[in-house]
Amino acid sequence: MEQNDLSPAPTRDGPALIADLCRALMTPANAEEMQRLLTDLCTPQEVRTLAERWHVARLLDGSDLSYRDIHDATGVSTTTIVRVARFLRQEPHQGYRAAIDAIAGADRNAD
């Protein structure tokens, strides 16, 4: 099978695979396109899990709810809530923080 310059070569290189996935995740122009990509890319349960983690991050950042209150209101396990809180507040990646701040900035600019 012939390969052109745009086709990827088969690989098991994790960082290369992640970089390629990140490029793909940056292509949707709006929420509808992103939803279509996630529907193709993930199982319904994987999309729900991602959505729940995002919701927990927003609740942890924007409310005074306890972990137990969040669990009771959402059904998300306290283990997941603790993990999200750790990544939101302690880990150096700051992906949740960057996304929350970007949405807040976009909402302010839309007003």
pLDDT reported for residue 73? 98
Distance of alpha carbon 107 from the chain centroid: 19
Do residues 11 and 17 lie in contact, with contact meaning Cβ atoms separated by under 8 Å? Answer: yes
Cβ atoms of 60 and 100 within 8 Å: the answer is no
Specify the pLDDT at position 110: 86
- What is residue 108's predicted lDDT score, i.e. its pLDDT? 84
b/e burial code for range 49-79 (CB count within 10 A of at least 16 → b): eeebbeebbbbbbeeebebeebbeeeebeee
- The pLDDT of residue 5 is above 80: no
What pLDDT, in 10s, does the model give residues 31-78? 999 999 999 999 999 999 999 999 999 999 999 999 999 999 999 999
Instruction: State the pLDDT at residue 2.
Output: 57
CA distance 90 to 84: 10
pLDDT, tens only, 54-67: 999 999 999 999 99
* Domain spans of the chain, in order of start: 12-41, 43-110
% the chain with pLDDT above 70: 95
Quote the pTM value: 0.86
